[in-house]
Amino acid sequence: MIVVVAGASGFVGRHLVARLLAEGHTVRCGTRSPTTARPVGRDWVRLDVDKPETLDAAFQGADALVYLVHQMGGAHGADLLAREGASASAIAEAAQRHGLKRIVYLGGPQPAGAPSEHLAARLVTGERLRASSVSCIELRAAMIIGAGSESWTMVRDLALRLPVMVLPAWLSTRSSPIGVDDVVDALEAAVVDPLEGSAAFDLPGPEALSAKDILTRAAATAGFRPIMFPLPVLTPSLSAHWLRLVTRADYGVARQLVDGLQSDLVTEGLGYWARMGGRRPTALDTVMRRAISADEVRGLGRRWEAAARWVGWRV
């Protein structure tokens, strides 16, 4: 099977491409700049979702598309919705034109309240793709944990760098984080899923936790115990500026991630795992240990954490 991965150079894309190749699929790695992303043995093609003229060459003769592109940290408001919607429509039309059998889209969950700008854009993208005549499976995941994830980078840096942490009100919202390996398992399964037509499925993690609990668990997994106290007056906008000072996460992305935590992102039931024989996602502590170990291999955050140990933050 020939699978096009749009967003192959991103965090999830890199993991997915390796898995698809290992399973014997032919993979076309779509990126805006193929000349700067050419690992040996991979077929990189130019695929810019803002430039529909690049889609035909990428989709020619392909069987399936995995769509991992999001305009994180870029456009805002109506412009973000318009760009994401237009890109999704162009993708759907090109997939139909070239006779693709399946589109798999990794989107975000439907929040309990009004969606933030970036969640609304992801939901619109899913709707546009599922409206195509090409069978589309939309998988909706909340925070994805793994070394290289912007959301995990933000959590890790807060949990492992700050001996004393203030708690904005938005840290009380709940979500269901999931490990990147589980997400890749689901994406791979969705590529060959015999489902007819199109559908959206939640992709819940093993537990529903508040953002505060996620920070606490991440710190405990690494053997730290930060002191936390509430500061309800810290708005999402101020929080994003605070995050810019403390974490390595991109400011624009951090702002959108914080905006997305204004209401719960928790779903009921097994979601797509039911179509995978009731498979259960990996335990959160295991996922966090793997991510922290991978970060250590990459040498991230050692000076900050050494200083934290020196002042007695270690459990």
Q: Which two tokens stand for residue 3?
A: 């699978």
| Strand order across the beta sheet in which 26-31 lies | 43-46, 26-31, 2-6, 64-67, 102-107, 135-140, 199-202
Work out the mean pLDDT of the chain and round it to a whole number.
84
Interatomic CA distance for residues 315 and 142, integer angstroms: 29
Residue 305 has pLDDT above 60, yes or no: no
Interatomic CA distance for residues 125 and 107, integer angstroms: 8
- Band the pLDDT of 303: cuts 50, 70, 90: very low
What are the residue boundaries of the structural domains of the chain, listed by start?
2-144+177-202
Predicted local distance difference test score (pLDDT) of residue 118: 84
- Decide: 143 and 214 in contact? Cβ < 8 Å: yes
Residue 21 has pLDDT above 70, yes or no: yes
Interatomic CA distance for residues 104 and 123, integer angstroms: 14
Q: At what angle do helices 284-297 and 211-221 cross, to 10 degrees?
A: 60
Predicted local distance difference test score (pLDDT) of residue 157: 84
- Tally of CB atoms within 10 A around 179: 24
Interatomic CA distance for residues 120 and 114, integer angstroms: 9
228-239 pLDDT, tens per residue? Answer: 777 666 665 666
Of 51-65, 210-224, 228-242, which range is least confident?
228-242
- Band the pLDDT of 34: cuts 50, 70, 90: confident
Task: Tell me the average pLDDT across 276-291.
Answer: 94
Task: Tell me the average pLDDT across 59-77.
Answer: 81
Tell me how far CA of residue 165 lies from CA of 47, 137, 147, 240, in angstroms: 42, 40, 22, 14
- Band the pLDDT of 134: cuts 50, 70, 90: very high
CA angle 305, 309, 314 (to 5 degrees): 105
- Identify the CATH number of the domain defined by range 2-144+177-202: 3.40.50.720
Interatomic CA distance for residues 281 and 289, integer angstroms: 15
Predicted local distance difference test score (pLDDT) of residue 311: 41
Predicted local distance difference test score (pLDDT) of residue 312: 44
Q: In sequence order, what are the residues at sequence separation of 6 or more whose Cβ sits closer than 8 angstroms to the Cβ of residue 302?
A: 296
- Decide: 170 and 211 in contact? Cβ < 8 Å: yes
Residue 56 has pLDDT above 50, yes or no: yes
Predicted local distance difference test score (pLDDT) of residue 307: 43
Residue 194 has pLDDT above 80, yes or no: yes
Interatomic CA distance for residues 149 and 212, integer angstroms: 18
Residue 310 has pLDDT above 90, yes or no: no
Q: Where are the alpha helices (H) located in the chain, listed in sequence order?
A: 11-22, 55-59, 77-97, 117-130, 150-161, 180-192, 211-221, 236-246, 251-259, 284-297, 302-310
Q: Comparing C-alpha atoms, which of 217, 67, 62, 213 is closest to residue 130?
A: 67
Q: Give the global pTM.
A: 0.87
Tell me how far CA of residue 196 lies from CA of 112, 118, 214, 251, 274, in angstroms: 29, 29, 37, 40, 16
Interatomic CA distance for residues 238 and 166, integer angstroms: 12
* Higher-pLDDT residue of 80, 76: 80
Residue 77 has pLDDT above 60, yes or no: no
Q: Which two tokens stand for residue 155?
A: 């959590």
pLDDT > 70: percent of the chain: 77
Predicted local distance difference test score (pLDDT) of residue 304: 42
- Band the pLDDT of 306: cuts 50, 70, 90: very low
Task: Tell me the average pLDDT across 112-139.
Answer: 92
* Higher-pLDDT residue of 248, 1: 1
Of 116-125, 126-135, 224-233, 243-252, which range is least confident?
243-252
pLDDT > 90: percent of the chain: 53
Tell me how far CA of residue 178 lies from CA of 34, 53, 54, 202, 312, in angstroms: 29, 35, 33, 11, 31
Predicted local distance difference test score (pLDDT) of residue 291: 93
Q: Which two tokens stand for residue 73?
A: 């940290």
Residue 249 has pLDDT above 70, yes or no: no
Of 58-67, 231-240, 285-294, 304-313, which range is least confident?
304-313
> What residue has token string 């984080």?
177
Q: In sequence order, what are the residues at sequence separation of 6 or more whose Cβ sits closer than 8 angstroms to the Cβ of residue 88?
A: 67, 124, 125, 126, 128, 129
Task: Tell me the average pLDDT across 129-140.
Answer: 97
